[in-house]
Amino acid sequence: MEKDFYIINNKNLAITISTLLNEDFLTFDDKRKGKEGKKCYSFKNTEKFRKILTLVNNTRNN
């Protein structure tokens, strides 16, 4: 089952993807155990988003 939103914990990665998508991300307080007080960043999980996420991850790994 695919989720409607994708969560990213790295703000710089979220900003990069947001710039390439030309879309804003949503910012939330992370409520998961051990992550309290930190922020997480959410994007709509679309095909365009997944393509850009793959492109950015492949670039980071090279």
pLDDT confidence of residue 47: 96
pLDDT confidence of residue 3: 87
Segment 14-56, tens digit of pLDDT? 999 999 999 999 999 988 888 888 999 999 999 999 999 999 9
Work out how many domains the chain is built from and give that number. 1
pLDDT confidence of residue 1: 60
Q: Write the CA distances from 62 to 12, 21, 31, 34, 56, integer angstroms.
A: 18, 21, 33, 31, 10
CA neighbor of 2 nearest in space, from 38, 57, 46: 46
d(CA 32, CA 47): 27
Residue pointed to by tokens 């959410």: 42
pTM: 0.84
Give the domain range for residue 41: 5-61
Segment 1-23, tens digit of pLDDT? 678 999 999 999 999 999 999 99
47 φ/ψ angles, rounded to the nearest 5 degrees = -65, -40
Q: How far is C-alpha 32 from the geometric centre of its chain's CA atoms?
A: 16
